[in-house]
Amino acid sequence: MVKQSFAVFLGPPGAGKGTLAAALVKKYGCLHVATGDVFRRHVRDKTPLGERVASLMRAGEYVPDALTNAVVKEELDAIRARGPRGWVLLDGYPRTEDQARYLDTLVSVEAAILLTVPDPETIVARLAGRRVCPTCAAVYHVSAKPPRRPDACDADGSPLATRKDDAPEVVRARLETYAQTAAPVSSFYEKKGVLLRLDASAPTQDLVARVEPVFGAKA
């Protein structure tokens, strides 16, 4: 019987975690849980959680571990209750050592994909050109992945938007936050022998091919 397997996607803002995860969802039918998307939905819907996290996200800071862990537990409980099989991809979680240790109490992570970006200009160009669908969270890029019709989502036709936290001063803060917290998380998975480092400068289809031995083997 095919069981549920869990992978985490690590890397700086704009590395392409969500884009690679979406490609794997399309190719292998994986489930995708992105904590950033969950928080953005709460902000959009003005829930109590959304009201709490909005200012942190606008400032490029992390949501406290306890809140983030609770959100992830709720998402994983819902997935378990529905009972699907195959890969569950956690995108943008964990981002701190505490989160990694907490996740370890919930599930066994079989693969940690760390997207590295050697040239910081890559991140600047990717975030400056990113456009997102406010309805379904699909991600585009004005030149690398343009929508079929200008400024409209291919999936549902919604007008595309830029993310507020892609403003240059917030991107600087997000990169700084990432630099302060990332190393212990990758070490955590390196020690477990499940860390795979990928140079994220490559085109998405090359990255999909690089992870094929992981995700294709158990799709």
Which residues carry out catalysis?
17, 95, 130, 163, 174
**Does residue 18 touch ligand AP5 according to CB under 6 A?**
yes
Q: Which of 124, 144, 152, 194 binds ligand AP5 (CB under 6 A)?
A: 144
User: Residue 85 or residue 199: which is nearer to ligand AP5 going by CB?
Assistant: 199
Beta bridge partners, 33, equal: 90
Cβ-proximal residues to 185 (8 Å cutoff; 6+ apart), any chain:
10, 94, 95, 96, 97, 99, 100
Beta bridge partners, 88, equal: 6, 31
C-alpha 115/C-alpha 104 separation (Å) is 21
Its sign, for the CA torsion 204, 210, 213, 215, is: negative
**Does residue 214 touch ligand AP5 according to CB under 6 A?**
no
Q: Which of 15, 30, 88, 198 binds ligand AP5 (CB under 6 A)?
A: 15
CA distances from 186 to 41, 147, 177, 197, 215 (A): 27, 33, 15, 9, 20
Beta bridge partners, 32, equal: 89
**Does residue 7 touch ligand AP5 according to CB under 6 A?**
no
Q: Which of 5, 7, 8, 13 binds ligand AP5 (CB under 6 A)?
A: 13
Q: Which of 14, 30, 31, 109 binds ligand AP5 (CB under 6 A)?
A: 14
Structural tokens at position 188: 């955590």
Cβ-proximal residues to 63 (8 Å cutoff; 6+ apart), any chain:
35, 39, 53, 56, 57
**Does residue 175 touch ligand AP5 according to CB under 6 A?**
no
Q: Which of 7, 10, 30, 39 binds ligand AP5 (CB under 6 A)?
A: 39
**Does residue 41 touch ligand AP5 according to CB under 6 A?**
no
**Does residue 93 touch ligand AP5 according to CB under 6 A?**
yes
User: Residue 5 or residue 99: which is nearer to ligand AP5 going by CB?
Assistant: 99
Q: Which of 13, 46, 43 is nearest to 130 (CA)?
A: 13
Strand stretches in the chain, DSSP E: 4-10, 31-34, 86-91, 109-116, 130-132, 139-141, 195-199
User: Residue 44 or residue 85: which is nearer to ligand AP5 going by CB?
Assistant: 44
Q: Which of 5, 89, 95, 117 binds ligand AP5 (CB under 6 A)?
A: 95
Residues interacting with ligand AP5, by CB under 6 A? 11, 13-19, 34-36, 39, 56-57, 60-63, 68, 92-95, 99, 126, 129-130, 139-141, 144-145, 174, 200, 203-204, 207
